[in-house]
Amino acid sequence: MSGPDGDTGRSVPLAHRVPDLGAMELLLAVARLGSLGRAAKELGITQPAASSRVRAMERRLGVTLVDRSPRGSRLTEAGALVTDWARRVVEAAEAFDAGTQALRDRRDSRLRVAASMTIAEYLLPGWLLALRAARPDTAVSLHAGNSTTVAERLLSGAADLGFVEGVRVPPGLDATVIGHDRLLVVTAPTHPWARRRLPVPAAELARTPLILREEGSGTRQVLTAAIGEPARPLIELSSTTAVKAAAVSGAGPAVLSELAVGEELAARRLVAIPLRDVTLTRALRAAWPQGPRPTGPARDLLALTRSP
């Protein structure tokens, strides 16, 4: 049947005009083995299925490819020509498969992670050790920054998987909650708040200069969502460790993750300050660019974050 451009039929998609790879592989096996039954056995299909596949290929191409007889199967003249073409297609498909496998191997040999500071410092080391045990040949690079930086790296393609701590999923990303965290207001034991009997109310917390992480950090986002815009920071620092060190030195109150201050609280180097009308909790999320869920090492690391 001719197509709209005459008698070539080229308006029909190529996939509907060309036999599939399985049919071509069957034809090559028939040519090599001289028997449809032996070809079917080699390819792991039944002889009736092989016969049906050959007939379907002949109908699609409009020529007879195989002469069948009690003595075996022999290619027709047209069948020999089609087999030669099919061999080139199958070889090209094998090269295509080898190339894509190489791409998968290269992808699976590395993992680029971006994580906000608390997760990078207190949770990721354990997860990465477990990943190394499961995937010893995967090279992992980690970039630690605030939640805004993590989102930027994911969206630019500079990271395969990210971890953020803010109050919402950054635009352009999909995410899943992997845990929850509580923020504490802490001071050195010498600070007046460490000796007060009543909890600090939200209004007082909001007007008190604090030692804080920088704008764009998940900690800062959670604090702002809970009390409104805080007072101008007493000190603004770009890492959890630096904030903690400043608080321990007695510089002033700080807002830090409970994950970060357990040792200091136990040793009384820091004191947790009770709060009134303030809830400082946040979800910890794994994030990736909108679309398919992570694959390869990124998928494995995501699974490890949910392990007990």
Domain definitions of the chain by residue range: 14-106, 110-304
CATH fold, domain 110-304, is D-Maltodextrin-Binding Protein; domain 2 (3.40.190)
- 143 CB-near residues (< 8 Å, 6+ apart): 112, 113, 114, 115, 149, 150, 153, 158, 159
In CATH, the number for domain 14-106 is 1.10.10.10
C-alpha 59/C-alpha 50 separation (Å) is 14
C-alpha 98/C-alpha 24 separation (Å) is 19
Q: How many residues does the chain have?
A: 308
- pLDDT tens per residue, range 214-262: 988 889 999 999 999 999 999 999 889 999 999 999 999 999 999 999 9
Question: What percent of the chain shows pLDDT beyond 70?
Answer: 92
**CA dihedral for 57, 60, 65, 68, sign (positive or negative):** positive
For the chain, list residues with pLDDT below 50: 1-7
